[in-house]
Structure 1
Amino acid sequence: MSKISIKCPLPSPICLTRRLWRRIAALCLPVLLAVGLLWQGLADPARLFSVPETVSLAGADSVELPADAAVSGIEQPFTAQYSWLASVTVRPRIGENAGDDLWTVTLQKEDGTEVWQGQASLTGSHAGEVTIPMGASLQTGETYRLVFACPDAAQNLEAAVPAEGQTTLSLAGAAQSAALRLDLVYGAADWVLFGLLAVGLLVSLAGLLLEWQDCPAAWQVLLRLGQGIVSGLWFLCAAELLNGDSALWKLPAIAVLVAFLLYAGLALVLRAVTGRTGLATGLTGAVLFVVGVANHFVLLFRGTPFTFIDILSAGTGMRVAGGYRFTIQPVLLLGVVFLLFGLCTPALRLEPRLPRTRRNRWLLRLGCLAAGAAVLAGVCRRDTFQAAGMAPSGRSAVDYAEAAGAVTSFAGSGVFSFPAQPDGYSPEALEALAEAYPSDEATAISEDAPNVLLILSESFTDFEALGDLCTDQTVLPFWQEFTQREDVHSGTLVMSTLGGGTVYSEFQVLTGITTAFDYPSSPYTQCLDRTVASLPAQAAQLGYTTAAVHPAEGANYNRVGALPWLGFDTCVFREDLTLAPEDTTRGFMRDSALFRQVTGMLEETDDPMFLFCITMQNHGGYTNADYESPVQLLWPEGCDEAEQYLGLVHESDAALAELIGALEELDEPTLVIFFGDHQPELGSDFSQAVLDESDPFAQYTTPYLIWANYPLEEDQLPENGSRIGIAALNPLVARAAGFPLTGWQKFLLEFYTQTPVMAQMGGTNAAGEYLTMEQLKQQPLADEYQILQYAMLFAEEQETGLWRLAEG
Structure 2
Amino acid sequence: MQNEKNKKEKFYSFSSLAISIMLIISHAWYLNYQKNNIMDFNYKFAIIRFLTTIIIFSFLFVKCKKNNADSSKKTIYFEKILEYSLYFIPIILFFGIEFLVGNFKYFDWSNLVLNIIIYYAIYLILYLILNDLHLSAYILSILGMILILAQYFILRFRGTPLLPLDFLMVNTAATVASSYKLYIDYSIFVIFLLLILYLYKTRIVKKNIKQKKNKFILFIVVVFFCSFINIKSKINFFELNLFETINNYYKYGFALTLVNEFKNLKIKMPIGYSDKIAKESLNKSQYIVEGSKESEIQPENIIVIMSEAFADLENLGNISIKDGIKITPFIKSLIENNTSGYVSVPTYGGVTANSEYEFLTGNSLHFFPPGYVPYQLNTHKIKSNIINTLKMYGYHCCAMHTYIGKNYNRNVVYPQLGFDEYITDNYGDVEFIRTFPSDVLSYNILIDKIKQTDGKLFSFLITIQNHGGYAIDGYENEVNLCYEQSYPQAEQYLSLLQLTDRQIKDFIEQLSKIDENTMVVFFGDHLPLIEESFYNTIMGKDRGSLSTFEYQKLYETPFFIWKNYENGGAKNKKKNLSLNYFGPYVLSEANIPVDGYNKYLLDLMSKIPIIGQGGIQTSNGDWFNYEDIQENEKQLLDQYEIVQYYTQTKEYRNSLLQNQK
TM-score, length-scaled by structure 2: 0.81
User: Which of the residues 427, 434, 452 maps onto 2:302?
Assistant: 452
2:329 is aligned with 1:477:
yes
Is 1:310 paired with 2:166? yes
Q: Classify 1:740/1:439 alpha carbon distance in 2 versus 1 (closer, same or farther; 3 Å).
A: farther
Structure 1 residue aligned with 2:437: 589
Aligned to 2:615: 762
Structure 1: distance between partners of 2:416 and 2:341:
30
Paired residue secondary structure (1:622): coil
Distance change in 2, residues 1:398/1:534 (3 Å): farther
* Distance apart, 1:409 and its partner CA: 3.4
Alignment partners' CA distance in 2, 1:314 and 1:563: 20
Query: 1:365 deviation in Å?
Result: 13
Q: Distance in 2 between matches of 1:470 and 1:591?
A: 27
Question: Aligned ranges for residues 272-311 of structure 1 at < 5 Å?
Answer: 272-311=128-167
Q: Which amino acid aligns with 2:403?
A: A
Q: Which has the higher contact order (CA 8 A, sep 6+)?
A: 2
Residues 275/674 of structure 1: CA separation in 2 closer, same or farther (3 Å cut): same
What secondary structure is seen at the aligned counterpart in 2 of 1:484?
Answer: helix
Name which of 682, 689, 693 aligns with 2:537. Answer: 689
Match of 1:231 among 83, 89, 92: 89
Aligned to 1:742: 595
Partner of 1:91: none
- Whether contact under 8 Å (2:238, 2:260) holds in the other structure is no
CA contact (8 A) 1:285 1:342 kept: no
CA, structure 1 residues 804+749, in 2 after alignment: closer, same or farther (shift >3 Å)? farther
- Please say if residues 310 and 527 of structure 2, whose CA atoms lie closer than 8 Å, have aligned partners that are also in contact: yes
**Alpha-carbon distance change, 692 to 490 in structure 1, aligned in 2, over 3 angstroms:** farther
C-alpha separation in 2, matches of 1:454 and 1:705? 10
Please point out which of 613, 618, 621 is paired with 2:469: 621
Q: Distance in 2 between matches of 1:623 and 1:807?
A: 47
1:797 maps to which residue? 651
TM alignment of 1:129-528, pairs within 5 A: 211=76, 228=87, 230-243=88-101, 246-248=102-104, 250-336=106-192, 339=195, 353-354=209-210, 356=212, 384-385=234-235, 387-389=237-239, 391-393=240-242, 395-437=243-285, 449-472=299-322, 473-485=325-337, 488-519=338-369, 521-528=372-379
More helix by share: 2
Change (3 A) 1:480 1:278: same
Select which of 564, 568, 580 maps to 1:709.
564
Q: Matches of 1:453 and 1:647 in 2, distance apart? A: 25
Which protein shows a greater Rg?
A: 1
Cα distance change, pair 673–777 in 1 and its aligned pair in 2 (3 A) = farther
SS of 2:336 mapped into structure 1: coil
Contact 1:422-1:786 within 8 A present in 2 as well = yes
After TM superposition, list the pairs within 5 Å mapping 1:559-570 onto structure 2.
559-570=410-421
8 Å CA contact 1:292, 1:406 repeated in 2: no
Q: State the shift of 1:336 in Å.
A: 2.1
- Assess, with a 3 A threshold, how the Cα gap between structure 1 residues 214 and 559 changes in structure 2: closer, same or farther: closer
Cα distance in 1 for partners of 2:650, 2:460 equals 28
Q: 1:474 to 1:439 in 2, by over 3 A?
A: closer
Q: Give me the whole-angstrom Cα distance separating, in 2, the residues matched to 1:421 and 1:342.
A: 49
Corresponding letter in the other structure for 1:277: L
Structure 1 alignment gaps of length 5 or more: 9-18, 55-85, 88-197
Q: Supply the RMSD in Å over aligned alpha carbons.
A: 4.4
Determine the C-alpha separation between the residues in 1 that align with 2:379 and 2:36.
44
Q: Bigger shift: 685-694 or 771-780?
A: 771-780
2:522 to 667, 674, 681: 674
- The percentage of counterpart residues that share the same residue type is 22
**Whole-Å separation in 2 of the counterparts to 1:574 and 1:761:** 37
Provide the C-alpha distance between the structure 2 equivalents of 1:596 and 1:589, rounded to a whole number of angstroms.
12
* Partner SS state of residue 798, structure 1: helix
User: Mean alpha-carbon deviation: is it higher for 633-642 or for 698-707?
Assistant: 633-642
Change (3 A) 1:657 1:50: closer
Alpha-carbon distance in structure 1 between the residues aligned to 2:294 and 2:619: 36
Q: How far did residue 332 of structure 1 move?
A: 1.4
Instruction: Measure the CA separation in 1 of the matches of 2:616 and 2:146.
Output: 35
Three-state SS of the structure 2 residue aligned to 1:601 is helix
Per the alignment, residue 631 of structure 1 pairs with 479
Which residue, out of 429, 437, 443, partners 1:579?
Answer: 429
* Deviations, residues 127-173 of structure 1 (Å, cap 9, x unaligned): xxxxxxxxxxxxxxxxxxxxxxxxxxxxxxxxxxxxxxxxxxxxxxx
- In structure 2, how many angstroms separate the alpha carbons of the residues matched to 1:6 and 1:550? 70
| Alpha-carbon distance in structure 2 between the residues aligned to 1:670 and 1:696 | 36
Once the two structures are superposed, what CA deviation does each residue of 1:73-112 show, in whole Å capped at 9, x if it has no partner? xxxxxxxxxxxxx99xxxxxxxxxxxxxxxxxxxxxxxxx
Q: Is the contact between residue 238 and residue 289 of structure 1 (CA under 8 Å) also seen in structure 2?
A: no
Go from structure 1 to structure 2 and tell me whether the alpha carbon gap of 1:514 and 1:397 turns closer, same or farther (over 3 Å shift). same
Residues 213 and 412 (structure 1 numbering): CA distance in 2 closer, same or farther, change over 3 Å? closer
Number of residues paired by the alignment? Answer: 613
**TM-score normalised according to structure 1 size:** 0.67
Match of 2:398, SS state, is: strand
How far, CA to CA, are the matches of 1:531 and 1:293 in structure 2?
Answer: 33
Gaps of 5+ in 2: 41-55, 68-73
Over 3 Å counting, the alpha-carbon distance change for 1:607 and 1:282 in structure 2 is same
Give the secondary-structure state (helix, strand or coil) at the position aligned to 2:621: coil
Q: 1:213, 1:667 → 2: CA distance?
A: 85
The verdict on how the C-alpha distance between 1:479 and 1:354 changes in structure 2, with shifts beyond 3 A counting, is: same
1:347 & 1:463 partners in 2: Cα distance? Answer: 54
Distance 1:772 1:341 in 2: 50
Q: Which of 764, 780, 784 is matched with 2:639 structurally? A: 784
Closer, same or farther: CA 429–604 of 1 in aligned 2, 3 Å: same
Which residue in the other structure is 2:48 paired with? none
Deviation (angstroms), 1:347: 8.2
Q: Which amino acid aligns with 1:336?
A: F
Work out the CA distance in 2 between the residues paired with 1:464 and 1:796: 44
C-alpha distance 413-573 of structure 1, shift in aligned 2 (>3 A) = farther
- CA deviation map 1:300-347 (0-9, x unaligned): 122111212211110000111011111122131354267569859988
Aligned partners of 2:339 and 2:573 also within 8 Å: yes
